[in-house]
Structure 1
Amino acid sequence: MNTELTQSPKKMNLNFVVTSIFIVLLIVIAGLNSFASVQYGHVGLYKTFGKLNDDILGPGIHLKLPFVQTVIQVNTQVTKAETDTSASSKDLQPVSTHVAVNYSVNKSAAFNLMNNIGGNFDTVIISPAIQEIVKEVTAKYPAEDLIAKRDVVAGEISDHLTKRLAKYDLIVNDINIVNFKFSDAFNQSIEAKQVAQQQALKAENDLKRIEIEAKQKIAQAQAEAESLKLKKQEITPDLVQFKQIEVQEKALEKWDGHLPSVTGGATPFIDLNSLSKK
Protein backbone atom coordinates (compact mmCIF):
# COMPACT_ATOMS: atom_id res chain seq x y z
CA MET A 1 0.00 0.00 0.00
CA ASN A 2 2.78 2.38 0.85
CA THR A 3 4.70 1.35 -2.27
CA GLU A 4 1.83 2.33 -4.49
CA LEU A 5 1.58 5.70 -2.76
CA THR A 6 5.30 6.36 -3.20
CA GLN A 7 5.21 5.47 -6.93
CA SER A 8 2.19 7.56 -7.72
CA PRO A 9 3.84 10.98 -7.17
CA LYS A 10 6.76 9.88 -9.36
CA LYS A 11 4.45 9.03 -12.21
CA MET A 12 2.64 12.31 -11.76
CA ASN A 13 5.90 14.23 -11.94
CA LEU A 14 6.95 12.37 -15.06
CA ASN A 15 3.63 13.06 -16.75
CA PHE A 16 3.90 16.69 -15.79
CA VAL A 17 7.37 16.96 -17.29
CA VAL A 18 6.33 15.28 -20.54
CA THR A 19 3.26 17.45 -20.80
CA SER A 20 5.29 20.56 -20.10
CA ILE A 21 7.84 19.66 -22.75
CA PHE A 22 5.06 18.97 -25.25
CA ILE A 23 3.40 22.32 -24.50
CA VAL A 24 6.71 24.16 -24.84
CA LEU A 25 7.43 22.47 -28.15
CA LEU A 26 3.93 23.29 -29.32
CA ILE A 27 4.39 26.93 -28.34
CA VAL A 28 7.76 27.08 -30.11
CA ILE A 29 6.36 25.50 -33.26
CA ALA A 30 3.36 27.79 -33.17
CA GLY A 31 5.64 30.76 -32.66
CA LEU A 32 7.80 29.80 -35.59
CA ASN A 33 4.70 29.38 -37.72
CA SER A 34 3.39 32.78 -36.73
CA PHE A 35 5.79 34.58 -39.08
CA ALA A 36 6.30 34.54 -42.80
CA SER A 37 8.82 36.42 -44.94
CA VAL A 38 8.33 37.88 -48.40
CA GLN A 39 11.47 38.07 -50.53
CA TYR A 40 12.72 41.16 -52.30
CA GLY A 41 11.19 41.53 -55.78
CA HIS A 42 8.02 39.74 -54.69
CA VAL A 43 4.67 40.51 -53.09
CA GLY A 44 2.80 38.23 -50.70
CA LEU A 45 -0.81 37.11 -50.36
CA TYR A 46 -2.45 35.52 -47.33
CA LYS A 47 -4.05 32.15 -47.98
CA THR A 48 -6.47 30.99 -45.27
CA PHE A 49 -7.86 27.48 -45.65
CA GLY A 50 -7.34 27.71 -49.41
CA LYS A 51 -8.90 31.16 -49.78
CA LEU A 52 -6.78 34.11 -50.92
CA ASN A 53 -6.91 37.44 -49.16
CA ASP A 54 -6.65 40.57 -51.30
CA ASP A 55 -4.20 42.25 -48.89
CA ILE A 56 -0.89 42.82 -50.70
CA LEU A 57 2.18 42.15 -48.53
CA GLY A 58 5.44 43.88 -49.37
CA PRO A 59 8.92 42.40 -48.90
CA GLY A 60 9.79 41.64 -45.27
CA ILE A 61 8.47 39.65 -42.29
CA HIS A 62 4.72 39.43 -41.62
CA LEU A 63 2.56 37.86 -38.89
CA LYS A 64 0.14 35.05 -39.73
CA LEU A 65 -2.13 32.62 -37.98
CA PRO A 66 -0.11 29.46 -37.30
CA PHE A 67 -1.29 26.26 -38.98
CA VAL A 68 -4.19 28.23 -40.50
CA GLN A 69 -2.64 30.79 -42.83
CA THR A 70 0.14 30.59 -45.36
CA VAL A 71 1.73 33.37 -47.41
CA ILE A 72 2.24 32.73 -51.11
CA GLN A 73 4.77 34.85 -52.98
CA VAL A 74 4.29 36.36 -56.44
CA ASN A 75 7.38 37.35 -58.42
CA THR A 76 7.06 40.96 -59.66
CA GLN A 77 10.53 41.17 -61.21
CA VAL A 78 11.05 41.25 -64.97
CA THR A 79 10.85 37.67 -66.24
CA LYS A 80 11.66 36.25 -69.66
CA ALA A 81 9.37 33.92 -71.61
CA GLU A 82 10.72 32.29 -74.80
CA THR A 83 8.46 30.68 -77.39
CA ASP A 84 8.95 28.98 -80.78
CA THR A 85 6.17 29.54 -83.30
CA SER A 86 5.59 28.01 -86.74
CA ALA A 87 3.56 30.03 -89.22
CA SER A 88 3.31 31.10 -92.88
CA SER A 89 4.19 34.45 -94.37
CA LYS A 90 1.94 36.46 -96.68
CA ASP A 91 3.52 34.76 -99.71
CA LEU A 92 2.93 31.36 -98.06
CA GLN A 93 6.55 30.73 -97.11
CA PRO A 94 6.88 28.53 -93.99
CA VAL A 95 8.67 30.41 -91.21
CA SER A 96 9.64 29.46 -87.69
CA THR A 97 10.00 32.32 -85.23
CA HIS A 98 11.83 32.29 -81.91
CA VAL A 99 10.51 35.12 -79.71
CA ALA A 100 11.72 36.28 -76.28
CA VAL A 101 9.33 38.42 -74.21
CA ASN A 102 10.29 40.25 -71.02
CA TYR A 103 7.25 40.78 -68.80
CA SER A 104 6.37 41.55 -65.20
CA VAL A 105 3.36 41.29 -62.87
CA ASN A 106 1.48 44.41 -61.84
CA LYS A 107 2.05 44.52 -58.07
CA SER A 108 -1.29 46.11 -57.22
CA ALA A 109 -3.19 43.49 -59.22
CA ALA A 110 -1.35 40.37 -58.03
CA PHE A 111 -4.47 39.17 -56.18
CA ASN A 112 -6.61 39.25 -59.34
CA LEU A 113 -3.96 37.38 -61.32
CA MET A 114 -3.43 34.64 -58.74
CA ASN A 115 -7.12 34.34 -57.85
CA ASN A 116 -8.37 34.13 -61.44
CA ILE A 117 -5.53 32.31 -63.21
CA GLY A 118 -3.06 30.93 -60.68
CA GLY A 119 0.68 30.59 -60.50
CA ASN A 120 1.10 28.91 -63.90
CA PHE A 121 -0.07 32.00 -65.81
CA ASP A 122 3.05 31.84 -67.97
CA THR A 123 1.94 28.62 -69.64
CA VAL A 124 -1.80 29.35 -69.45
CA ILE A 125 -1.78 32.95 -70.73
CA ILE A 126 1.59 34.20 -71.98
CA SER A 127 2.84 31.40 -74.22
CA PRO A 128 -0.48 30.88 -76.10
CA ALA A 129 -0.86 34.66 -76.56
CA ILE A 130 2.65 34.97 -78.02
CA GLN A 131 2.09 32.12 -80.47
CA GLU A 132 -1.28 33.43 -81.66
CA ILE A 133 -0.10 37.03 -82.14
CA VAL A 134 3.15 36.04 -83.88
CA LYS A 135 1.19 33.92 -86.36
CA GLU A 136 -1.27 36.76 -86.95
CA VAL A 137 1.44 39.39 -87.57
CA THR A 138 3.69 37.08 -89.62
CA ALA A 139 0.85 36.40 -92.07
CA LYS A 140 0.71 40.14 -92.94
CA TYR A 141 4.25 40.34 -94.38
CA PRO A 142 6.04 38.64 -97.29
CA ALA A 143 8.96 36.51 -96.21
CA GLU A 144 11.60 38.98 -97.39
CA ASP A 145 9.94 41.84 -95.48
CA LEU A 146 10.07 39.80 -92.28
CA ILE A 147 13.85 39.97 -92.62
CA ALA A 148 14.16 43.54 -93.88
CA LYS A 149 11.55 44.97 -91.48
CA ARG A 150 12.35 42.97 -88.35
CA ASP A 151 12.00 46.03 -86.08
CA VAL A 152 8.60 46.93 -87.55
CA VAL A 153 7.36 43.35 -87.13
CA ALA A 154 8.64 43.21 -83.53
CA GLY A 155 6.94 46.53 -82.76
CA GLU A 156 3.59 45.32 -84.09
CA ILE A 157 3.85 42.07 -82.12
CA SER A 158 4.69 44.08 -78.98
CA ASP A 159 1.67 46.36 -79.41
CA HIS A 160 -0.77 43.46 -79.82
CA LEU A 161 0.77 41.47 -76.97
CA THR A 162 0.74 44.47 -74.62
CA LYS A 163 -3.00 44.95 -75.16
CA ARG A 164 -3.70 41.22 -74.76
CA LEU A 165 -1.75 40.74 -71.51
CA ALA A 166 -3.01 43.98 -69.96
CA LYS A 167 -6.35 42.21 -69.48
CA TYR A 168 -4.59 39.89 -67.02
CA ASP A 169 -2.58 42.63 -65.25
CA LEU A 170 0.65 41.55 -66.95
CA ILE A 171 3.08 44.19 -68.23
CA VAL A 172 5.12 43.67 -71.42
CA ASN A 173 8.52 45.32 -70.88
CA ASP A 174 10.27 44.30 -74.08
CA ILE A 175 10.08 41.86 -76.97
CA ASN A 176 12.83 40.48 -79.22
CA ILE A 177 12.60 38.38 -82.34
CA VAL A 178 15.62 36.18 -81.74
CA ASN A 179 15.49 34.37 -85.06
CA PHE A 180 13.50 33.81 -88.25
CA LYS A 181 14.04 30.38 -89.82
CA PHE A 182 12.91 29.72 -93.40
CA SER A 183 12.98 26.69 -95.69
CA ASP A 184 16.22 25.69 -97.48
CA ALA A 185 14.69 26.51 -100.87
CA PHE A 186 13.81 30.04 -99.77
CA ASN A 187 17.27 30.59 -98.28
CA GLN A 188 18.87 29.49 -101.56
CA SER A 189 16.65 31.86 -103.56
CA ILE A 190 17.58 34.74 -101.26
CA GLU A 191 21.27 33.93 -101.63
CA ALA A 192 20.97 33.77 -105.45
CA LYS A 193 19.14 37.10 -105.46
CA GLN A 194 21.84 38.74 -103.37
CA VAL A 195 24.56 37.42 -105.70
CA ALA A 196 22.66 38.78 -108.73
CA GLN A 197 22.25 42.16 -107.04
CA GLN A 198 25.95 42.30 -106.23
CA GLN A 199 26.88 41.46 -109.82
CA ALA A 200 24.46 44.07 -111.16
CA LEU A 201 25.90 46.64 -108.78
CA LYS A 202 29.44 45.78 -109.90
CA ALA A 203 28.44 46.12 -113.57
CA GLU A 204 26.79 49.46 -112.83
CA ASN A 205 29.90 50.69 -111.04
CA ASP A 206 32.12 49.53 -113.92
CA LEU A 207 29.91 51.40 -116.40
CA LYS A 208 30.09 54.55 -114.31
CA ARG A 209 33.88 54.22 -114.11
CA ILE A 210 34.15 53.84 -117.91
CA GLU A 211 31.89 56.85 -118.45
CA ILE A 212 33.97 58.93 -116.07
CA GLU A 213 37.22 57.90 -117.75
CA ALA A 214 35.74 58.72 -121.19
CA LYS A 215 34.62 62.13 -119.97
CA GLN A 216 38.09 62.74 -118.55
CA LYS A 217 39.70 61.91 -121.89
CA ILE A 218 37.26 64.15 -123.75
CA ALA A 219 37.94 66.95 -121.34
CA GLN A 220 41.69 66.45 -121.74
CA ALA A 221 41.43 66.49 -125.56
CA GLN A 222 39.25 69.59 -125.45
CA ALA A 223 41.78 71.29 -123.20
CA GLU A 224 44.66 70.41 -125.54
CA ALA A 225 42.71 71.64 -128.58
CA GLU A 226 41.84 74.85 -126.81
CA SER A 227 45.47 75.31 -125.84
CA LEU A 228 46.60 74.77 -129.45
CA LYS A 229 43.96 77.21 -130.67
CA LEU A 230 45.20 79.84 -128.27
CA LYS A 231 48.76 79.27 -129.41
CA LYS A 232 47.76 79.75 -133.06
CA GLN A 233 46.01 82.95 -132.16
CA GLU A 234 49.23 84.21 -130.60
CA ILE A 235 51.23 83.82 -133.90
CA THR A 236 51.42 87.20 -135.69
CA PRO A 237 53.51 88.43 -138.70
CA ASP A 238 55.76 90.36 -136.31
CA LEU A 239 56.31 87.17 -134.28
CA VAL A 240 57.18 85.22 -137.45
CA GLN A 241 59.66 87.92 -138.54
CA PHE A 242 61.18 87.97 -135.08
CA LYS A 243 61.63 84.17 -135.15
CA GLN A 244 63.32 84.42 -138.59
CA ILE A 245 65.75 87.02 -137.28
CA GLU A 246 66.54 84.74 -134.32
CA VAL A 247 67.30 81.87 -136.74
CA GLN A 248 69.56 84.08 -138.89
CA GLU A 249 71.42 85.34 -135.86
CA LYS A 250 72.06 81.79 -134.68
CA ALA A 251 73.27 80.87 -138.20
CA LEU A 252 75.73 83.82 -138.29
CA GLU A 253 77.10 82.76 -134.92
CA LYS A 254 77.90 79.33 -136.38
CA TRP A 255 79.32 80.65 -139.82
CA ASP A 256 83.09 80.15 -140.33
CA GLY A 257 83.53 83.04 -142.89
CA HIS A 258 83.51 80.91 -146.05
CA LEU A 259 80.76 81.11 -148.64
CA PRO A 260 79.26 77.87 -149.84
CA SER A 261 80.34 76.61 -153.25
CA VAL A 262 76.79 76.24 -154.41
CA THR A 263 73.65 77.82 -153.04
CA GLY A 264 70.13 77.01 -153.93
CA GLY A 265 67.42 79.32 -155.07
CA ALA A 266 65.75 80.23 -158.31
CA THR A 267 69.20 80.97 -159.90
CA PRO A 268 72.00 78.83 -158.47
CA PHE A 269 75.18 80.67 -157.46
CA ILE A 270 78.55 78.98 -158.16
CA ASP A 271 81.82 80.21 -156.69
CA LEU A 272 84.26 79.59 -159.60
CA ASN A 273 87.31 80.78 -157.71
CA SER A 274 86.67 78.26 -155.05
CA LEU A 275 86.23 75.50 -157.57
CA SER A 276 89.41 76.44 -159.51
CA LYS A 277 91.45 76.40 -156.38
CA LYS A 278 90.17 72.94 -155.65
Structure 2
Amino acid sequence: MKNRLLLASLLGIFFLSSCAVIRQGEVGVKSRFGKLSDTSLDAGLVGFNPFTTRVIKVPIRTVNQEIRLPLPSKEGLTIESEISILYSIEKNKVPFILEDIGENYERVLILNVFRSAAADITAQYMAKDMHSGMRSEIEKEIQERMHESLRQRGFVVERVLMKSINLPTELSRAIERKLKAEQEAQQMEYILERERKEAERRKIEAEGTREAQKILAEGLVREIIELRSIEAFRELANSPNTKIIITDGKTPYLINSQK
Protein backbone atom coordinates (compact mmCIF):
# COMPACT_ATOMS: atom_id res chain seq x y z
CA MET A 1 0.00 0.00 0.00
CA LYS A 2 2.78 2.39 0.91
CA ASN A 3 4.59 1.57 -2.33
CA ARG A 4 1.48 2.38 -4.34
CA LEU A 5 1.07 5.75 -2.60
CA LEU A 6 4.72 6.56 -3.19
CA LEU A 7 4.42 5.60 -6.83
CA ALA A 8 1.27 7.71 -7.23
CA SER A 9 2.99 10.67 -5.60
CA LEU A 10 6.00 10.35 -7.91
CA LEU A 11 3.73 10.11 -10.93
CA GLY A 12 1.81 13.19 -9.75
CA ILE A 13 5.01 15.18 -9.27
CA PHE A 14 6.28 14.09 -12.69
CA PHE A 15 2.98 15.03 -14.32
CA LEU A 16 2.95 18.48 -12.70
CA SER A 17 6.59 19.13 -13.56
CA SER A 18 5.96 18.15 -17.20
CA CYS A 19 3.24 20.78 -17.70
CA ALA A 20 3.47 24.54 -18.09
CA VAL A 21 0.69 27.11 -18.02
CA ILE A 22 1.02 29.92 -20.53
CA ARG A 23 -1.16 32.85 -19.50
CA GLN A 24 -3.01 35.36 -21.59
CA GLY A 25 -0.64 37.98 -22.98
CA GLU A 26 2.22 35.46 -23.15
CA VAL A 27 3.63 32.99 -25.64
CA GLY A 28 5.87 30.02 -24.94
CA VAL A 29 8.81 28.61 -26.84
CA LYS A 30 10.16 25.08 -26.19
CA SER A 31 13.88 24.64 -25.75
CA ARG A 32 14.96 21.00 -26.19
CA PHE A 33 18.57 20.28 -25.29
CA GLY A 34 19.22 24.01 -25.76
CA LYS A 35 17.70 24.14 -29.22
CA LEU A 36 14.76 26.49 -29.63
CA SER A 37 11.58 25.59 -31.45
CA ASP A 38 10.76 27.62 -34.57
CA THR A 39 7.16 28.11 -33.47
CA SER A 40 5.61 29.73 -30.41
CA LEU A 41 2.92 28.29 -28.14
CA ASP A 42 -0.32 30.10 -27.39
CA ALA A 43 -1.94 30.53 -23.98
CA GLY A 44 -3.04 27.34 -22.30
CA LEU A 45 -1.63 24.16 -20.73
CA VAL A 46 1.48 22.81 -22.46
CA GLY A 47 3.05 19.39 -21.87
CA PHE A 48 6.77 18.68 -22.22
CA ASN A 49 9.50 16.30 -21.08
CA PRO A 50 11.11 17.98 -18.05
CA PHE A 51 14.32 15.94 -18.52
CA THR A 52 15.00 17.20 -22.03
CA THR A 53 12.84 20.27 -22.55
CA ARG A 54 11.83 23.50 -20.91
CA VAL A 55 9.28 26.16 -21.86
CA ILE A 56 10.41 29.79 -22.04
CA LYS A 57 7.57 32.27 -21.48
CA VAL A 58 7.71 35.69 -23.11
CA PRO A 59 5.12 38.49 -22.61
CA ILE A 60 3.63 39.92 -25.82
CA ARG A 61 1.32 42.40 -24.04
CA THR A 62 2.39 45.99 -23.51
CA VAL A 63 5.24 46.19 -20.99
CA ASN A 64 6.00 49.31 -18.95
CA GLN A 65 9.70 49.63 -18.16
CA GLU A 66 10.59 52.56 -15.87
CA ILE A 67 14.13 53.90 -15.92
CA ARG A 68 15.96 56.53 -13.90
CA LEU A 69 18.58 58.10 -16.11
CA PRO A 70 20.84 61.20 -16.12
CA LEU A 71 20.37 63.02 -19.43
CA PRO A 72 22.74 65.53 -21.04
CA SER A 73 21.46 68.90 -22.24
CA LYS A 74 22.68 71.17 -25.03
CA GLU A 75 24.44 73.51 -22.61
CA GLY A 76 26.27 70.59 -20.95
CA LEU A 77 24.11 70.15 -17.85
CA THR A 78 23.11 66.78 -16.42
CA ILE A 79 19.38 66.37 -15.90
CA GLU A 80 18.07 63.64 -13.61
CA SER A 81 15.00 62.01 -15.15
CA GLU A 82 12.50 59.20 -14.70
CA ILE A 83 11.23 57.82 -18.00
CA SER A 84 8.78 55.07 -18.92
CA ILE A 85 9.12 52.96 -22.06
CA LEU A 86 5.97 51.23 -23.27
CA TYR A 87 6.80 48.43 -25.69
CA SER A 88 5.52 45.10 -26.92
CA ILE A 89 6.90 42.14 -28.88
CA GLU A 90 5.58 40.76 -32.16
CA LYS A 91 4.35 37.24 -31.53
CA ASN A 92 5.95 35.65 -34.59
CA LYS A 93 9.34 37.16 -33.74
CA VAL A 94 9.61 35.66 -30.24
CA PRO A 95 11.64 32.55 -31.27
CA PHE A 96 14.00 34.75 -33.29
CA ILE A 97 14.47 37.17 -30.36
CA LEU A 98 15.28 34.35 -27.94
CA GLU A 99 17.73 32.79 -30.38
CA ASP A 100 19.40 36.03 -31.47
CA ILE A 101 19.43 37.99 -28.20
CA GLY A 102 18.42 35.65 -25.40
CA GLU A 103 15.99 35.86 -22.52
CA ASN A 104 17.59 39.05 -21.18
CA TYR A 105 16.58 40.97 -24.31
CA GLU A 106 15.29 43.89 -22.26
CA ARG A 107 18.57 44.54 -20.47
CA VAL A 108 20.80 43.57 -23.40
CA LEU A 109 19.01 45.43 -26.19
CA ILE A 110 16.05 47.63 -25.26
CA LEU A 111 17.62 49.54 -22.38
CA ASN A 112 20.90 50.08 -24.22
CA VAL A 113 19.11 51.35 -27.32
CA PHE A 114 17.02 53.64 -25.13
CA ARG A 115 20.02 55.12 -23.30
CA SER A 116 21.76 55.86 -26.59
CA ALA A 117 18.67 57.37 -28.22
CA ALA A 118 17.73 59.45 -25.18
CA ALA A 119 21.26 60.88 -24.80
CA ASP A 120 21.50 61.75 -28.52
CA ILE A 121 18.12 63.51 -28.57
CA THR A 122 18.29 65.44 -25.29
CA ALA A 123 21.79 66.70 -26.14
CA GLN A 124 20.14 68.72 -28.92
CA TYR A 125 17.83 70.56 -26.52
CA MET A 126 18.33 73.11 -23.76
CA ALA A 127 17.60 71.96 -20.24
CA LYS A 128 14.61 74.29 -19.95
CA ASP A 129 13.05 72.61 -23.03
CA MET A 130 12.71 69.36 -21.09
CA HIS A 131 10.66 71.24 -18.51
CA SER A 132 8.40 73.01 -21.00
CA GLY A 133 5.94 72.30 -23.78
CA MET A 134 8.73 70.80 -25.88
CA ARG A 135 8.81 67.71 -23.67
CA SER A 136 6.32 65.90 -25.91
CA GLU A 137 8.51 66.61 -28.94
CA ILE A 138 11.54 65.13 -27.16
CA GLU A 139 9.53 62.04 -26.18
CA LYS A 140 8.40 61.55 -29.77
CA GLU A 141 11.93 61.85 -31.17
CA ILE A 142 13.29 59.30 -28.68
CA GLN A 143 10.46 56.93 -29.57
CA GLU A 144 11.13 57.29 -33.30
CA ARG A 145 14.86 56.72 -32.83
CA MET A 146 14.21 53.55 -30.82
CA HIS A 147 11.62 52.40 -33.34
CA GLU A 148 14.17 52.61 -36.15
CA SER A 149 16.60 50.40 -34.23
CA LEU A 150 14.19 47.84 -32.79
CA ARG A 151 11.31 47.34 -35.23
CA GLN A 152 13.18 44.95 -37.54
CA ARG A 153 14.06 42.79 -34.54
CA GLY A 154 10.45 42.34 -33.46
CA PHE A 155 9.98 45.11 -30.89
CA VAL A 156 7.29 47.77 -31.10
CA VAL A 157 8.02 50.92 -29.09
CA GLU A 158 4.57 52.34 -28.35
CA ARG A 159 5.38 55.37 -26.21
CA VAL A 160 8.22 57.08 -24.38
CA LEU A 161 7.04 59.15 -21.41
CA MET A 162 9.21 61.58 -19.46
CA LYS A 163 7.51 61.23 -16.08
CA SER A 164 9.76 63.56 -14.10
CA ILE A 165 12.59 65.94 -14.89
CA ASN A 166 14.75 67.34 -12.06
CA LEU A 167 16.62 70.43 -13.18
CA PRO A 168 19.59 71.85 -11.25
CA THR A 169 18.36 74.10 -8.45
CA GLU A 170 19.75 77.38 -9.82
CA LEU A 171 18.41 76.67 -13.30
CA SER A 172 15.00 75.78 -11.91
CA ARG A 173 14.89 79.07 -9.98
CA ALA A 174 16.00 81.01 -13.05
CA ILE A 175 13.22 79.44 -15.12
CA GLU A 176 10.68 80.29 -12.43
CA ARG A 177 11.89 83.90 -12.35
CA LYS A 178 11.67 84.12 -16.12
CA LEU A 179 8.16 82.68 -16.19
CA LYS A 180 7.09 85.12 -13.47
CA ALA A 181 8.57 88.05 -15.42
CA GLU A 182 6.77 86.91 -18.58
CA GLN A 183 3.48 86.68 -16.70
CA GLU A 184 3.97 90.17 -15.28
CA ALA A 185 4.81 91.52 -18.74
CA GLN A 186 1.67 89.92 -20.17
CA GLN A 187 -0.39 91.44 -17.34
CA MET A 188 1.10 94.88 -17.97
CA GLU A 189 0.43 94.56 -21.70
CA TYR A 190 -3.18 93.71 -20.90
CA ILE A 191 -3.50 96.79 -18.64
CA LEU A 192 -1.93 99.06 -21.27
CA GLU A 193 -4.19 97.70 -23.98
CA ARG A 194 -7.21 98.24 -21.74
CA GLU A 195 -6.13 101.85 -21.05
CA ARG A 196 -5.57 102.49 -24.76
CA LYS A 197 -9.06 101.29 -25.55
CA GLU A 198 -10.53 103.42 -22.73
CA ALA A 199 -8.66 106.50 -23.99
CA GLU A 200 -9.92 105.84 -27.50
CA ARG A 201 -13.47 105.50 -26.18
CA ARG A 202 -13.20 108.82 -24.34
CA LYS A 203 -11.79 110.49 -27.44
CA ILE A 204 -14.70 109.27 -29.55
CA GLU A 205 -17.15 110.38 -26.86
CA ALA A 206 -15.56 113.86 -26.68
CA GLU A 207 -15.62 114.20 -30.44
CA GLY A 208 -19.31 113.29 -30.45
CA THR A 209 -20.09 115.86 -27.75
CA ARG A 210 -18.13 118.55 -29.58
CA GLU A 211 -19.86 117.75 -32.84
CA ALA A 212 -23.27 117.96 -31.14
CA GLN A 213 -22.42 121.33 -29.62
CA LYS A 214 -21.21 122.57 -32.97
CA ILE A 215 -24.44 121.52 -34.66
CA LEU A 216 -26.46 123.18 -31.86
CA ALA A 217 -24.45 126.40 -32.11
CA GLU A 218 -24.89 126.53 -35.86
CA GLY A 219 -28.63 126.08 -35.37
CA LEU A 220 -29.03 129.12 -33.01
CA VAL A 221 -29.82 131.66 -35.76
CA ARG A 222 -31.45 135.04 -35.02
CA GLU A 223 -34.96 133.86 -35.84
CA ILE A 224 -34.73 130.93 -33.36
CA ILE A 225 -33.43 133.25 -30.61
CA GLU A 226 -36.34 135.69 -31.18
CA LEU A 227 -38.80 132.81 -31.09
CA ARG A 228 -37.39 131.61 -27.78
CA SER A 229 -37.70 135.23 -26.44
CA ILE A 230 -41.38 135.41 -27.40
CA GLU A 231 -42.01 132.11 -25.65
CA ALA A 232 -40.27 133.47 -22.54
CA PHE A 233 -42.43 136.68 -22.62
CA ARG A 234 -45.54 134.54 -22.89
CA GLU A 235 -44.62 132.44 -19.86
CA LEU A 236 -43.91 135.61 -17.83
CA ALA A 237 -47.24 137.15 -18.87
CA ASN A 238 -49.14 134.09 -17.72
CA SER A 239 -47.47 134.16 -14.31
CA PRO A 240 -49.69 135.59 -11.46
CA ASN A 241 -46.72 137.17 -9.68
CA THR A 242 -45.84 140.87 -9.82
CA LYS A 243 -42.76 141.43 -11.94
CA ILE A 244 -40.53 144.22 -13.14
CA ILE A 245 -39.05 143.41 -16.50
CA ILE A 246 -36.44 145.33 -18.43
CA THR A 247 -36.23 144.39 -22.07
CA ASP A 248 -35.06 145.68 -25.39
CA GLY A 249 -38.03 143.95 -27.02
CA LYS A 250 -36.03 140.94 -27.86
CA THR A 251 -34.90 139.32 -24.64
CA PRO A 252 -36.57 139.67 -21.24
CA TYR A 253 -34.63 140.35 -18.06
CA LEU A 254 -36.47 139.86 -14.75
CA ILE A 255 -35.18 142.14 -11.96
CA ASN A 256 -37.87 141.76 -9.31
CA SER A 257 -40.74 139.47 -8.42
CA GLN A 258 -43.05 139.25 -5.44
CA LYS A 259 -46.37 137.70 -4.51
- For structure 2, the 5+ residue unaligned runs are 249-259
Matches within 5 A, 1:48-63: 48-63=32-47
TM-score (norm 2): 0.83
CA RMSD of aligned residues (A): 2.8
Identity across matched positions, percent = 23
Tell me what 1:234 maps to. Answer: 219
Classify 1:122/1:253 alpha carbon distance in 2 versus 1 (closer, same or farther; 3 Å): same
* CA deviation string 1:86-128 (max 9, x = no partner): 1221122332222101111221111111122222222121222
Greater CA drift, 112-121 or 133-142: 112-121
Q: Which runs of 5+ in 1 are unaligned?
A: 1-13, 266-278
Supply the distance in 2 between the matched residues of 1:253 and 1:21 (Cα, whole angstroms): 139
Counterpart residue number, 1:216: 201
Instruction: State which of 79, 103, 125 in structure 2 corresponds to 1:119.
Output: 103
Does the Cα contact within 8 Å between 1:84 and 1:131 map onto a contact in 2?
no
Cα drift, residue 170 of structure 1: 1.6
Larger Rg: 1
In the aligned structure 1, how far is the partner of 2:247 from the partner of 2:92? 124
Letter in 2 for 1:79: V
Counterpart mapping for 1:88-237 below 5 A: 88-146=72-130, 147-237=132-222
Contact 2:65 2:84 in 1 (8 A): yes
Structure with a larger share of its residues in helix: 1
Q: 1:249 to 1:110 in 2, by over 3 A?
A: same
Whole-Å separation in 2 of the counterparts to 1:122 and 1:224? 80
Alpha-carbon distance change, 201 to 251 in structure 1, aligned in 2, over 3 angstroms: same
Aligned length: 247
2:54 and 2:94 map into 1 onto residues whose CA distance is 16
Alignment match of 1:78 (pick from 44, 58, 62):
62
Query: Cα gap change, 1:215/1:35 in structure 2, threshold over 3 Å: closer, same or farther?
Result: closer
Cα distance between partner residues in 2 of 1:263 and 1:205: 61
**TM-score (normalizing by structure 1):** 0.78
Alignment partner of 1:87 out of 71, 75, 83: 71
Equivalent pair of 1:34/1:65 in contact (CA under 8 Å): yes
The whole-number CA distance in structure 1 between the counterparts of 2:14 and 2:77 is 64
Contact 1:83 1:130 in 2 (8 A): no
AA aligned opposite 2:82: H
